[in-house]
Structure 1
Amino acid sequence: MSETMGSLCDKLTIVKLKQWHTQDAGKLESLSKQEQQLKAEIDEFIYDAVTGRIPLDRLTFEANKVYSGVGNEVREISGSLGEVFSELAEINCKLWHEQEKVYEFEKVPVSEKDQVVKQLAILNLERNQCIDKINSHFYSFIVRSKHNTPC
């Protein structure tokens, strides 16, 4: 997948979650380096987009998830770029905790296993929707800035 603002934001939220959930000094050092690299990459991506070094058609890369909508209803993600980024961080937090259940799936009561799998699927769909919305917002911002129209 090509890097987009949404994919970079997603990676950064995951690094922050990993930092939050570990106390291992070696891992924390590595994660700190990853965090710094991602922040620099985001800054560079913004600069390159604003200056036209990234073509407009490369600012978006929709996930185009193919799935049955029946039984997999996903709420519509909306709001400003900052609001959607915040939503992405929250969804990734929820995903982290659902995924933790899968690592010891044998401990999940049989009556709850289907719900865990369903929740992972729904959260992943919402995560992809957030990434796409961030990309769309960022694309619109760049287009407006090129035409000097107010946000």
Structure 2
Amino acid sequence: MAETLGSLCDKLTIVKLKQYHTEDDTRLQSLSQQEQMLAAEINDFIADAVNGLIPLDQLTFKANKVFKQQGNEVKDVQGTIGEVFAELAKVNCDLWHEQEKVYEFETVAAAEKDVVVKKLAILNLQRNKCIDNIDTNFTRMIAGK
């Protein structure tokens, strides 16, 4: 199983960001369908997990990021699934706006280019921590711990 609750939550926040940033009716209609499908998939995933249809070891899928940890520290993500989901939405919003700079990278001052790239890397690490935390919290909840 390639999807987890955290990865589905991540996808949903990205769809919501796309909806917020577009005015194209055709695109909005497509995004609305994606939102509904993801919401249904999240509901089905939770129901299947609660009913024991998904083995506990398949509720998590660690990002297994391989990176130089020194100089790339990210804050620890703590809280309930809802709190971490909210943090994931915030991180994805920050990522969205930082990524916008990359689309016109030639306009970014030379002195700022390294800052933009570093911030993208750190935000992506934070995003993965949020996804992993949602998965870990949900697995503990299902396991009854």
- Tell me which residue corresponds to 1:10: 10
In structure 2, distance between residues paired with 1:53 and 1:99: 38
| Residue 110 of structure 1, CA deviation | 0.5
Superposed CA offset, 1:14-56 (max 9, x none): 0000000000000000000000000000000001001111111
In structure 2, distance between residues paired with 1:122 and 1:17: 20
- SS of the equivalent of 2:23 reads coil
Q: TM (normalized to structure 1)?
A: 0.94
Report sequence identity in percent: 66
- Tell me which residue corresponds to 1:66: 66
RMSD between superposed Cα atoms in Å: 0.9
- Tell me which residue corresponds to 2:49: 49
Gaps of 5+ in 1: none
| Residue 12 of structure 1, CA deviation | 0.2
In structure 1, distance between residues paired with 2:63 and 2:99: 21
- Tell me which residue corresponds to 2:22: 22
Q: TM (normalized to structure 2)?
A: 0.98
Superposed CA offset, 1:65-106 (max 9, x none): 110011111111111111100000000000000000000000
Q: Which runs of 4+ in 1 moved over 6 A?
A: none
Gaps of 5+ in 2: none
In structure 2, distance between residues paired with 1:138 and 1:2: 16
In structure 1, distance between residues paired with 2:92 and 2:9: 11
Tell me which amino acid in the other structure corresponds to 1:90.
K
Q: How many residues align?
A: 145
